[in-house]
Amino acid sequence: MNSIETAACAFREMGCDVLCNEPMKLHTSFKIGGCADLYVTANTKEQLACALDYIKKNDIPLMFVGNGTNMLVSDKGIRGVVLRLGGEFCDISLVDDTTIRCGAGALLVAACRFALEHSLTGLEFAYGIPGSVGGAAFMNAGAYGGETKDVALCCECLTPNGEFITVENKDCDFAYRHSRFSDSGELVTEVTFKLEKGNAEEIKAQMEDIMGRRKDKQPIELPSAGSVFKRPEGYFAGALIQECDLKGCTIGGAQVSTKHSGFIVNIGDATCSDVLDLVAHIQDTVLREKGVQLECEIRAVGDGV
């Protein structure tokens, strides 16, 4: 029995769900990526702590994944363990009249709908962001004038030493598409949101308006990883790309969206290499023609990237 099979057996004995040699294109919004040696889902805090302890003791490469919406996985796949949160980590509950607690594995859209059900306002901006609650905290996800930092009261996380701690908002180092969790090696396991009482009909109308604007302006009908580039100071990345006549530019199966130039879409069997080549072409062209260096917002992960 090789080390991967041994590890798979160990994770199953802990109660985790385990998939071997699992294609990552099945677990990313880009629908791109080679196979992960092990794709492991921890469904309880006990399973998570045990899994991370085993991974650490056996020096197994580890990558955390949320809903796979802001990542580009190598065509060669990912060595070691890809770990996601399921089960109790997807629970959402009411703490008090204006506070909700969300497991990091819960989808943002589910959190928004839960808030609506309880006439709580503040999360509307996140409606339609196709990520997990943990991923939102990790990158301080935001849209339409709101950001995660505006409503996150605190985050529970698991430290590299296996300790569950609570990090208050002021200590999360939230910034544009960044948080302390981006660098600390801590895994967000739960986020508590502080919202306000509102009118359910007004909240619903705002959510529907935001979703309508997304459908009108963004290529949500095609696989992508959202906005490709961070917003450069004083500019909009999509506008710069369009001004350089790159809308519709295609390399392999990757294309600058004809609907929104800030997106790269998978128009059919795109590879990681196709996307990276297109990203580089966009960056080179915009720098040459506009003098602006675009910084990639999507995380490229896996073997060889």
- Catalytic residue, chosen from 84, 177, 190, 224, is 177
Q: Is 297 an annotated catalytic residue? A: yes
For residues 91 and 181, what is the distance between their CA atoms, to the nearest angstrom? Answer: 21
Q: What is the DSSP string of 231-296?
A: --TTS-HHHHHHHTT-TT-EETTEEE-SS-TTEEEE-SS--HHHHHHHHHHHHHHHHHHH---PPB
- HSE (CB half, 13 Å, CA atoms) of 147? 12
Give the Cβ contact number of residue 103 at 10 Å: 24
278, 280, 282, 288 alpha-carbon torsion, rounded to 10°: -150
Q: Is 79 an annotated catalytic residue? A: no
Which amino acid makes up residue 290? K
Which residues does 51 contact at the CB level (< 8 Å), separation at least 6? Answer: 11, 14, 16, 40, 42, 81, 83
Which run of H or E residues covers position 139? helix 133-139
Q: Contact, 100 vs 115, CB < 8 A?
A: yes
- Catalytic residue, chosen from 22, 156, 186, 297, is 297
Give the Cβ contact number of residue 12 at 10 Å: 12
What spatial distance separates the first Cα and last Cα of the chain, rounded to whole Å? 29
Which residues does 254 contact at the CB level (< 8 Å), separation at least 6? Answer: 264, 265, 266, 267, 270, 271, 274, 275, 277, 278
- Catalytic residue, chosen from 74, 119, 227, 261, is 227
Name beta bridge partners: 102.
92, 191
Q: Contact, 82 vs 42, CB < 8 A?
A: no
Which amino acid makes up residue 139? M
- Looking up tokens 């981006």 gives 182
Q: Is 29 an annotated catalytic residue? A: no
Active site residue ranges:
177, 227, 297
